Amino acid sequence: MTPEERIAQLIMIPVYSNKDQAHIDSISTLINKYKVGGLIFFQGGPVRQARMTNRYQRESKIPLMVSIDAEWGLPMRLDSTSRFPYQMALGGIEDEKLIYEMGAEIARHCRRLGIHVNFAPVVDVNNNANNPVIGFRSFGEDKYNVTRKAMAYMRGMQDQKVLANAKHFPGHGDTDVDSHVGLPIINFSKIRLDSVELYPFRQLMKNGLGSLMVAHMNIPVLDNTKNLASTLSKPIVSDLLKRDLGFKGLVFTDALNMQGVAKFYAPGIVDVKALLAGNDMLLNTMDVKTTIQEVKKAIARGEITQAEVDARCRKVLAAKQWLGLDKWKPVEMKNLIEDLNSPYAKYLNEKLVEASLTLLRNKQNILPVQRLDTLKVAALAIGTDKETDFQRGLARYTKVDTFFLTPTTSIAELFALKEKLQKYNLVVAGVHKLNLKAGGSNFGITAEMNLFLKDLIRSQRTIVGVFGNVYSLAYLESLEKADAVIAAYQETATTQDLTAQMIFGGIGAKGKLPVTISNNFRINDGLKTKGGLRFAYTMPEAVGLKTADFAGIDSLVAQAIREKAAPGAEVLVAKDGKVIYQKAFGYHTYEKEKPVQLDNLYDLASITKISTSLAAFMKLKGEGRFDVDRTLGEYLPMMEGSNKADLKYRDILTHQARLKAWIPFWKETVKKNGKFKWSTFKADSSRRFPIKVADNLYMHRKYAQKIYKEIKDSPLNEKPGYVYSDLSFILAPLVVQNITGQDFETYLKKNIYEPIGATTLTFNPYKHFSADRIVPTEHDSLFRKQLLHTTVHDEGAAMLGGVSGHAGLFGTANDLAKLMQLYLNDGTFAGETYISGNTVSEFSKCQFCDQGNYRALGFDRPAKPGAPDSNAAPSAPVESFGHSGFTGTYTWIDPVNKLVYVFLSNRVHPTRENRKLYQLNTRTEALQVVYDAMEKGKKVQQ
């Protein structure tokens, strides 16, 4: 290496992967001509950066040291990469192992992209709330907490062979000037600097810190030269850092184009001054040619020797060897984006966010929210007029109505909003779109927002989640008087989602404030709550499985849609009380106009039997008001004197009571010419014809009695044995009403669905939900002669006004899963018992297996082992149970593996004659994918 090349090894130039070809080529020129030692990448994308890195490494005589600012992961600079929380959020985490894991994962991402140095962690002790440059980038104001977190981050990275970089020496945490735009002056004593600011640096140095960055600050107590930044100060870099503290790692300047130094010295001159001060690497050199010339002049003047330059060059080369650059390999382009966005990284981010969320108020233990059936909930988004991830997260747990308060809301609109909210007994407010820095704007919090929130907190039960810089809490008036306050530190989809989960007890609160915000919110404040009360919404990794092993579900559903077994579907898998897989596929119809969404309602068909009739019977059994060994005639007097009066419910619910399979009731209403009899249906509703069967089709108010009489008079099957029948379930609503005195739907909603938050489980969804949320079923060419949309598919249920115990229930996969989880828990949900006495366990057992009938009481069970086209996945244990629906629905409960599975589709669209979903066995094959994933998980653990 020539003397010039040795100087050039100390130079790191800025590179952008989002700039034009001229910029890309100009970097090549600097590498080829001057042999610079390294690159620092700024904004752009990973694929572009990888291509540039490969080109530049090939062109470089000596492998380049590549660096980046990735304090919260590569997204700090690059699109299409995995982000992690800001350091202030990490400061609120008590488990430092998580931060070590984050450091290791960020390092793996860096290595995958050919990056060797990450300018992190920030070890500045942020004890100035008005700090304009550090703030949320710091771990907090306690030097011990900052040190523990920084140590974990550093070790995680360096164990993966990425050089950590502690910044900004000697401490940038108590400044009120941004060194990007000016030179901060720090008027501390040496005692203060030594005891606070320098503490984390010293501790990291003792534990193998590979590099650090010197800040641009004027510190008179260490060097009183006017307008001289610490970066350019020999007393600070050479004397304090290298001699007194004995730091042997690489010393980087902060960027030399920042105004803290650039406003006082020209490019090239500032670089030489930094070198003379004792720095090893000159970051963001803006004029490579001049810098090399000026260093040579300094050598000639005796200000620095070539030997000193050579020593630093050897130090850089040694670091490159430690980083493996003596065995450089190009960045592999294949699967780059996938590798930088692994499920593990996403799950780790979830764990970090969950551990950071900080509960600061919880009056009367309002969190986690209990007794959903007593609440009317408003979800208020403050700072935006767009539906938020927080609001969507809340809506998974119960019915919430959404409202918005923007910074520009008028006084009149504020009064109108206040009046609307008075109808609710719980308001959950999210504070959104806050500025990252106070900057004279109070983080964007307006007087109107403050006035409204203050009044809201005073007058109503209010839970507040603040999605932004934690210091913003000081600017929200009366916040400490809210019923619950959650500091979420930042606004991402994940923080909002997990905050919603915490409110309803899907996860617990664990975080602690890493800074003092006000007299009301002080450092180390943070209340704890327990999770696991209701569903958590997470990933397979949360239960020891792998996301990749669930890809088979996607493939099976894609195949079903491709082969037109159904136009769309939704699949949900919950394990151990956590929803680990939930996806919507395809469209409502083959016209592909409306994609399936996770909040869409499906016609559940025969799943109605186990979700309505059976739910009611089991609840009543637990209360001693229903007994499966009593008869239909005892519970339904209208059946007395019929051939069904003495049928026992144990036989009825196992479909071996000799009842006919079904009766086509609608055919009795049609004349030979194909038209309806005048006394049955009309096109318009009236007092005599009030019962809606479908659009423009209304049934006579007394016709249901004819249906019940037809069932009563129907003959029993001649031979005993199993015959699946709808008839007893059609009668179930009458039985339940006879026992309880309540109509069927009201009983179910008030006693089961609303308390567990399954508020979309409903008959006649057109009464409660917009049509675009409801998935259509069949084009009925025989009876109703229309596309069935928002009304029930089953003819008998339709003729009963949409309410029956055999069909008619609609709902989302999410809400059906809640009911199935209640069954899995043997009648308990969210700490409350709704079906007592181990009734679900009793009902889900095989009753007559010795007779070849493998059904439970109302529930389906795995058929005889080895039976073809089984109703269950091959690996489903004998203890599992569930049901399928004619429209293409299916749900299965596995108490052995604590598994709930829901598959919803409209395979009958456009015709029930389409049996491809059965032929493909998509529903059970998709469940088998889950069992296969669990089997793989067991082998890994072994």
Q: Using one digit for the tens of pLDDT, what is the confidence trace for 309-334?
A: 999 999 999 999 999 999 999 999 99
Say which of 180, 401, 554, 695 is annotated catalytic.
180
Q: Does residue 720 or residue 939 have the better pLDDT?
A: 720
Crossing angle (nearest 10°) for helices 96-112 and 343-356: 150
pLDDT of residue 865: 62
pLDDT value at residue 867:
65
Average pLDDT over residues 113-141: 91
pLDDT of residue 672: 86
- Burial class (CB within 10 angstroms; exposed 0-12, middle 13-18, buried 19+) of 614: buried
Q: How much is the mean pLDDT over the chain? A: 96
C-alpha 605/C-alpha 807 separation (Å) is 5
End-to-end CA distance of the chain: 53
pLDDT tens for each residue of 534-580: 999 999 999 999 999 999 999 999 999 999 999 999 999 999 999 99
User: Residue 938: pLDDT band by 50, 70, 90 thresholds?
Assistant: confident
Residue 772, CB-side half-sphere exposure with 13 Å CA sphere: 4
Name the token pair of 569.
Answer: 């579907």
Q: Is the pLDDT of residue 941 over 80?
A: no
Q: Which residue out of 178, 254, 483, 815 is catalytically annotated?
A: 254
Burial of 432: CB neighbours in 10 Å, binned 0-12, 13-18, 19+: buried
Tell whether the model's pLDDT for residue 253 goes beyond 70.
Answer: yes
Residue of 589, 579, 606, 588 lying closest to 813 (CA atoms): 579
Per the annotation, the verdict on 254 as an active-site residue is yes
Share of the chain above pLDDT 70, in %: 99
SS3 of residue 872 by DSSP:
coil
pLDDT of 272 above 90 = yes
| Per-residue confidence (pLDDT) for residue 222, from 0 to 100 | 94
Asked if residue 931 lies in contact with residue 876, where contact means CB atoms within 8 angstroms, the answer is yes
pLDDT for residue 259: 86
Is-contact 775 765, C-beta < 8 A?
no
Instruction: Dump the DSSP string for 523-570.
Output: TT--B-----SS-EE--GGGGT--GGGGHHHHHHHHHHHHTTS-SEEE
Q: Which regions of 410-544 does DSSP assign to beta strands (E)?
A: 426-431, 462-466, 484-487, 536-537
Q: What is the pLDDT of residues 725-775, one digit of tens each?
A: 999 999 999 999 999 999 999 999 999 999 999 999 999 999 999 999 999
Do 653 and 628 form a contact (C-beta atoms < 8 A)?
yes
Please report where in the chains the tokens 């989002």 appear, as a residue: 18
Q: Residues 6 or more apart from 369 whose CB is under 8 A from it? A: 375, 397, 426, 503, 504, 505
Residue 869: its pLDDT value, please?
63
Q: What share of the chain is helix, strand, coil (3-state, %, to 5)?
A: 40, 15, 45
pLDDT digits (tens, 9 = 90+) for 597-628: 999 999 999 999 999 999 999 999 999 999 99
Enter the tokens of residue 311.
Answer: 């020593």
The Cα–Cα gap between 240 and 160 comes to: 30
pLDDT average, residue stretch 36-40: 98
pTM: 0.96
pLDDT digits (tens, 9 = 90+) for 827-848: 999 999 999 999 999 999 999 9
173 pLDDT tier (thresholds 50, 70, 90): confident
Preceding omega of 779 cis (within 30 degrees of 0): no
CB 484 within 8 A of CB 366: yes
Which residues, at least 6 apart from 122, have a Cβ–Cβ distance to it below 8 Å? 71, 87, 134, 137, 138, 139, 150, 167, 168
Is 768 assigned a catalytic role? no
10: its two tokens: 């100390």
Q: Express as a percent the part of the chain with pLDDT over 90.
A: 91
In the predicted model, is pLDDT for residue 133 greater than 80? no
Give the length of the chain: 942
Stated as kind and residue range, the H or E segment containing 940 is helix 922-941
Domains in the chain: ranges and CATH: 10-339 (3.20.20.300), 357-529 (3.40.50.1700), 538-599+874-942 (3.30.450)
Residue 854's φ and ψ, nearest 5 degrees, are -95, 10
User: What one-letter code names the amino acid at 79?
Assistant: D
534-555 residues labelled b (16+ CB within 10 A) or e (exposed): bbbbbbbbbbebbbebbebbee
Q: Higher confidence at residue 745 or residue 133?
A: 745
Three-state DSSP string of 75-117: HHCECCCCCCCCHHHHHCCCCHHHHHHHHHHHHHHHHHCCCCE
Q: Quick one: pLDDT at residue 942? A: 65
Question: Hunting for tokens 């919880």 — which residue is that?
Answer: 362
For 674-730, write each residue's pLDDT tens digit. Answer: 899 989 999 999 999 999 999 999 999 999 999 999 999 999 999 999 999 999 999
Q: What is the mean pLDDT of residues 928-939?
A: 94
197 burial (CB, 10 Å; 0-12 / 13-18 / 19+) is buried
Tokens of 21: 């070809």
Instruction: Report yes or no: 744 and 616 within 8 Å, Cβ to Cβ.
Output: yes
Alpha helices in 422-485 (DSSP H): 447-459
pLDDT at 127: 84
Taking only the tens place, the pLDDT of each residue in 858-906 is 999 998 765 666 789 999 999 999 999 999 999 999 999 999 999 999 9
